Structure 1
Amino acid sequence: MSRRKIRNAIRLGASYIVLILLCIAAVYPVLWVVFGSLRPGKSLYSKTLIPEKFTFEHYQELFTSQTYLFGTWYLNTLKIAVCSMILGVLLTLLTSYALSRFRFRGRKTALSGLLVLGMFPGFMSMIAIYLLLREMQLLDTHLALIIVYAAGAPLGGTFIAKGFLDTIPRSLDEAARIDGASNFLIFRRIILPLSKPMLTYMALTQFVGPWVDFIFARLVLRTKENWTLAVGMWDMVSSNQNSNFTLFAAGAVLIALPITILFMFLQRLLVDGLTSGASKG
């Protein structure tokens, strides 16, 4: 065996070892939380990964307990995530369509502005947004979260969506315009059907953000009935008197379940949308 083959075999073996270690590091904590949610008692610690006895009492307690309004928090988070996803995708798609298809004065300035604004972390604007929401009397409302999440969507998704729209031939627009189609009709009949992979990517990313967000939701929402899942789950284990970590694990599994299902069923469209949008700037 030549030195090149030996070197390639060593490199391939090392790559597999690294990948296996990374998979173990990613999967083992997930399995621990899943099995912990099925373990009797309140402690996640156990001598074995798989519990000796399985129970679903923690899942039942989440929806029957008067102390934890898990069902209400779940519906609140679902409403906020879905509404912000719809508005955010619409705003991002309209912004990227205008920047991709039209040539107007200030276009390059708008692109540069979006790029610069996207570089700043959201923490820098939290105080200003909080003051604005207080003046508008929108504190402790779900509408405040929906507006902020949806308005921030174009900052993160416009360039990727624009890159995808740039790959759609302009000849389709020109042919439709010759037949008398308006810009809105071209957008609805041509651009949208061809943008399903990009729509899937934007919808998933815009859904996941509000679904798991804690900091801004904790800043805006005050009453327990209006909390989201992240805020409610934090309150579940933040006090010294409460150490029911198996109940927390059950809630974490239920939070991850819809995101996992969406990614599993929409994986192909998600990859196509991400790679197509990144292929052209």
Structure 2
Amino acid sequence: MDARQSLADCFEENRRALLALSYRMLGSHEEAEDAVQETWLRLDRADTTAVRNLPGWLRTVTSRVCLDMLRSRQGRRQDHGEDDLGPANVATGEGDPEHEVLEAESVGLALLVVLNTLSPAERVAFVLHDMFGVPFDEIGGILDRSQTTAKKLASRARHKVRAPRERHLVEVDQHREVVAAFQIAACTGDTSIIASRLAPDVVRRADTAALSSGRPARLHGAGSVAHEISRFGGAARHSDLALIDGRVGLLVAPGGRLRLAVCFRIEGGLVKEYELVADPARLKCLCIRLLPAS
């Protein structure tokens, strides 16, 4: 077996792991494929005779490619005033949307949404260390930063991604159960099941961006609200639970791109009131964190 074939075989053995790494860094299957393909091109051109750990070398190169792509994406958004709620190819509908949605849901929609709030360096440091266990000295080399700085970047990212431990209160667990039950009921489209999760005098509010033609900004009563959810609740299939401004809520994020936040007020184990937030300016102002482990 010649050296080039040996390199190709090693690359194929590591392709799945490199795709998983790239997807979590980029939040886009298409961009992750591009990053892994670029890694192969660099491997094909490189002199690897002195490389003792080729899988580690591939991980380092892929991480640097992803970092460059994240920085380029951030620069485009700043230049053109685009939002930062998700990867660009999902916004334009490029690629295979159905595959993108399934990929995002397998990773966790809330996680992808929160990762999009990080700077490129924070995202790379967090993904490498907290999700793949890469040591900080290696991360520092990838980022061209010191080991200490890499630790600080990951710590800062962790603070933005995960809720503080003191938030893990009994109330959070109770509300998690209620919101999860609401989410499941909305997916069924059955008005009686949906109504069973609502207070009789429930109120639904919404900003203008969240409303389709003819829908009122405020809706009152379990019957009316349940009927609306049965018609428009299909989006719940692409939702995930998260902490929104310190309370358990839902993020509707097909393909990992945040489109709608549902903010709840819960009383007596039932949904008393909820608001649909879809205005991009308002979405950017929300403090979104992953729910603590139950």
> Which has the higher relative contact order, 1 or 2, with Cα contacts under 8 A spaced 6 or more apart?
1
Regarding TM over 0.5, the answer is: no
Structure number with higher strand proportion = 2
Structure 1-normalised TM-score? 0.24
Structure number with higher helix proportion = 1
Larger Rg: 1
Structure 2-normalised TM-score? 0.24
